[in-house]
Structure 1
Amino acid sequence: MGTLRASTRRSRLAGGNNMMRALLDDVRDIRMQALARERAMGETIDALSPAWKRSAANLEHYRALRATDHVALQGNLVRNGLSSLSRREAHVMPTLDAVERALSAMCGVAAEPARATMTIDDGAQLLARHATELLETPMPHMTRIVVTIPPWAAGDVAFMGSLVDAGMDVARINASHGDAQQWLASIKSLRTAAAARGRRIPVCVDLAGPKVRTGVCADGPIPLVAGDVLTLHANDNTSVLATKLANARVAVRPREVIEHLKPGDRVMFDDGNIRARCTAVDRAKSGGSGDVTGEVTVEVEAVRAGAWPLKDRKGVNVPDTDMPIAALTDDDLVTLDFVAEHVDIVAMSFVRSASDIADLHRALAARTKRTIGVVAKVETPQACRALPEILLELMKSPPCGVMLARGDLGVEIGFEHLPEAQDEILALCEAAHVPVIWATQVLESMTEHGFPTRGEVTDAADAARADAIMLGIGPFMVETVLFIEDLLARTQIRRARSRALLRAWSPLGTD
């Protein structure tokens, strides 16, 4: 009996050793893949400033880590008392080195030489430094509060002071509203109020970008229900009601939308309240001027509340359609003249590729030698897919950041996929040591009505994972800043950034 027990123990030990050796081989393979990816991207990394080379290398290590599914490996590592490799976005290679050393010791073999060029602590420190370079020093918690300045507050020093006192860290101006004179009045009053309190509040301007909108309804709002058929056109800027002989006609600008929609493409109106799909395209149709722009037929598939009116100048999202529209519009270039003289940070709307960021860098360099931070707003499926390349382009001219613009992004990829997508964006940006601004409808009910919903409070607490959280406009803005200030301070005592399972990276969380 004793001999049998000893044999069983030896078998189990041998099995355990075999498993540990397999884990060691897996970790070493991942590390070699990460190093190979860094070497493959060597030319791109070498072109960056020394301050960002380690961040770019870590980004490539993380991309290698996420190239395949490691969920089973994570479970086996945890069962043996080792790091699961999650929550390691900011310092991939130091973590792989540490796990390799531990596994080597457990297997009774010599550890391979460490491959990391930074420590585990360096990753978090680099991210914190880059966030401070873009958004200034946080007071008092790590997640800054970005407040959108309402047009009516231009010149109101007392109101600006109340926002600063409540906890505002960064001021945002939406260039889709107001004009240069109004923006300058807001900036002057803000800086006066901040200086009186010994603070410096950076100013960020959001470029309007190539927003796709409907035209003006000639006969008032167009009531829509599921099953209705619309004809989209770009002949003029007029939308008209349906008749017994014709579908309702909806003007959409810019004309590239009409020119590039194809059957099967989704078309969303008014922040997704009206959801339609292209059923037919007629490229031969011409407008009254003789320009051949074509017409598109779409069928409404769903509307909010069973019936919803399409009003003047509502936003249109076409997530399945690639349009050759420059991310920098003529109006944006005029806004950049103002930015170059008065602003600390500029946020680019509807970024789709790294070339969009390169265009913005060139436009800024042509206007000023001042250092102006650049923030890429991720609000399209194209930007999600191209995010690694966008991050590398941002690193070429720091300071830089990413805005998680959940409004249009949710409409474009579907609200059901938004939680997954925002987690992947946060993870990839942390790996690149690029700060993230969490935006859109944060505590909206409180800003507008003075009371938050339970869901909004949970969402705002979740935003503590980001480097900044952005609030909108409403009559209860000061109260909302005070509320989020307290919420963030208490939340960050209990948790920092966290991640879950290392499945193969999917930019939209849909694969």
Structure 2
Amino acid sequence: MNTQEIQSSSLRAASLLEEVLELREAVLSEAVVFEHRFAVDDRTPDQATRNLAHYLALRRKDLRILQRRLMALGLSSLGRLEGRVLPTLDAVAHALASLAGREAMVSCQSETAFFTGESELTKATTALMGEASPGRRTRVMVTLPGTAAENPELIRALAHAGMNIARINCAHDGPDAWRAMTAFVKEAAQETGREIRILMDIAGPKIRTGEISALKKKGKLQAGDRIRLIATGTPEANADLPFAAAVSLPEMVTRLAVGNRLRYDDGKLDAVVEAVSDGEAVIRVERVKAGGVKLKPEKGINLPDTALGLSPLTAKDELDLATVVECADMIGYSFVSRPDDIDLLDGVLARLGQGQKPIGLIAKIEQPAALANLPDLMVRARRRGPFGVMIARGDLAAEIGFERLAEMQEEILWLCEAASVPCVWATQVLEDMVKEGIPTRSEMTDAAMAARAECVMLNKGPAIVDAVSLLDRLLCRMDEHVFKKTPTLRALKSW
């Protein structure tokens, strides 16, 4: 490199140094707003909360041009700083100062200090989910079928295949079955010599179809069809409205407004509210899967535009929690959307006398309000003890639209890493493998991408044991290639 090239590089570095230092000051200044919002009792926020505030301030800026200019000098593009915002900015500034021949304005942290966020996330994950399996950091969670209460062999096989967490869905079965599953999980853990934790998922106020009425019993809904929904009573179809349905929650109908969207059965049908009257609503089908969709009872309904004002805890949940605190290591919290929902749950747990055994919490992110409030939710919940977030991709996709799901699941992963909060990648992972015994190509890619989360959840199905074995091997291989957003460059021997 000749003298002119050296001077040009030095000038570029000097210009970028000023830009990075200005960015650093702006992040510190604007993060104060978030730190004040997160503060409680004037306590100094911990490292993870401060880093989350810095990340939120940073990500309000468009840094794409700066990133490319830094890359051209062989420096960090700031693209992997979720867990270490200020340490990364400081390291880049320090390197730019050296290239510019200037005195560094900031100190460069030690390697240990630089990766503090990473170590905090590891500790938080272990506290919530238990120790990782050899060869992979991502845990495997498995939803147990109701038959597992009478089938210890299934749970034993899942444990040997690599299950780290057993999930019991409290929307099904009852306390006796849950206690039986818990006992079998503990026996399997002892047999394998590994810790296997138990998550019990309380149901929350699920919105579903109730009794159905249709003029043609085998008729399927098509675009343009209209459906009568009733808040109470027995649905009756007629010539004008050949489909009718009751619903599980009357508020679902009484709070609808004309123009509100409705999605049925995990997005197999999209509709819009056409008319509302006392205790009734008429919806018009706008889009449906090829061949149409049959209207059935006990199918999920999502209302992305409708504020239902429902408590995330039902009377059933409060009864179920008495067994949950007896059996579980973690609670899966459905329908959570605000920080106050965390306090609501803890109030019920306190009345039940929970406190002798700390119980972890996983907030299921499945509503637009939960997305909007996610930073505040995480900060509030982290104070109570071990905490994680589940990307509940089924309900979330139905609420925000399928085309936005991929984008939002990435943002949730980033926010969780910034706050040192472990994240669960859930819903239809290896679904064909679990049900049919053979995975599709696309779901294998999805499962590989899930390695960036701290846990992957599989649903129940006939081939679940084989699916756990496959996922265990896949996650072990991916562990050699990637950590969160960072590719790890092990030696390649394919060529």
* TM-score when normalising by structure 2: 0.91
Matching residue's letter, 1:176 = A
User: 2:430 — aligned with what?
Assistant: 443
Query: Is the contact between residue 146 and residue 168 of structure 1 (CA under 8 Å) also seen in structure 2?
Result: yes
2:32 counterpart SS class: helix
User: 1:173 — aligned with what?
Assistant: 168
- 2:193 corresponds to which of 193, 198, 201: 198
- The Cα offsets for residues 203-258 of structure 1, whole Å up to 9 and x where unpaired, read as 0011101111111124556631100112222022x3333x2244533222312222
Matching residue's letter, 2:458 = L
Matching residue's letter, 1:429 = C
Once the two structures are TM-superposed, the CA of residue 101 in structure 1 deviates from its matched residue by 1.0
Whose RCO is larger (CA < 8 A, sep 6+)? 1
- 1:149 corresponds to which of 141, 144, 169: 144
Once the two structures are TM-superposed, the CA of residue 265 in structure 1 deviates from its matched residue by 1.4
Q: Does 1:86 pair with 2:71?
A: no
2:190 counterpart SS class: helix
Query: Is the contact between residue 45 and residue 53 of structure 1 (CA under 8 Å) also seen in structure 2?
Result: no
User: 2:22 — aligned with what?
Assistant: 29
Once the two structures are TM-superposed, the CA of residue 200 in structure 1 deviates from its matched residue by 2.2
User: 1:506 — aligned with what?
Assistant: none
- 1:327 corresponds to which of 305, 309, 312: 312
Q: Does 1:416 pair with 2:403?
A: yes
Query: Is the contact between residue 222 and residue 240 of structure 1 (CA under 8 Å) also seen in structure 2?
Result: no
Q: Does 1:277 pair with 2:277?
A: no
Aligned partners of 1:258 and 1:244: how far apart in 2? 22
Matching residue's letter, 2:169 = N
Query: Is the contact between residue 221 and residue 312 of structure 1 (CA under 8 Å) also seen in structure 2?
Result: no
Aligned partners of 1:439 and 1:50: how far apart in 2? 34
Structure 1 unmatched ranges of 5 or more: 1-5, 286-293, 501-511
1:498-509 map, 5 Å: 498=485
Once the two structures are TM-superposed, the CA of residue 337 in structure 1 deviates from its matched residue by 1.0
Q: Which runs of 4+ in 1 moved over 6 A?
A: 12-15, 48-52, 115-118
- 1:58 corresponds to which of 51, 54, 67: 51
- 2:330 corresponds to which of 345, 350, 373: 345
1:103-142 map, 5 Å: 103-114=96-107, 119-140=113-134, 141-142=136-137
Query: Is the contact between residue 350 and residue 377 of structure 1 (CA under 8 Å) also seen in structure 2?
Result: yes
1:223 counterpart SS class: coil
Once the two structures are TM-superposed, the CA of residue 109 in structure 1 deviates from its matched residue by 2.8
* TM-score when normalising by structure 1: 0.89
**1:66–1:343 distance in 2 versus 1, CA, 3 Å:** same
Query: Is the contact between residue 213 and residue 245 of structure 2 (CA under 8 Å) also seen in structure 1?
Result: no
- The Cα offsets for residues 323-346 of structure 1, whole Å up to 9 and x where unpaired, read as 210111111111111111211000
Once the two structures are TM-superposed, the CA of residue 304 in structure 1 deviates from its matched residue by 1.1
Matching residue's letter, 2:295 = L
User: 1:239 — aligned with what?
Assistant: 235
Aligned partners of 1:396 and 1:330: how far apart in 2? 26
Query: Is the contact between residue 266 and residue 394 of structure 2 (CA under 8 Å) also seen in structure 1?
Result: yes
Instruction: Say which is worse superposed, 17-26 or 223-232, in terms of deviation.
Output: 17-26
Query: Is the contact between residue 423 and residue 454 of structure 2 (CA under 8 Å) also seen in structure 1?
Result: yes
Aligned partners of 1:116 and 1:210: how far apart in 2? 48
**1:388–1:163 distance in 2 versus 1, CA, 3 Å:** same
Q: What is the number of residues matched between the two proteins?
A: 480
Once the two structures are TM-superposed, the CA of residue 279 in structure 1 deviates from its matched residue by 2.1
Once the two structures are TM-superposed, the CA of residue 14 in structure 1 deviates from its matched residue by 7.0
Structure 2 unmatched ranges of 5 or more: 488-495
1:250 counterpart SS class: strand
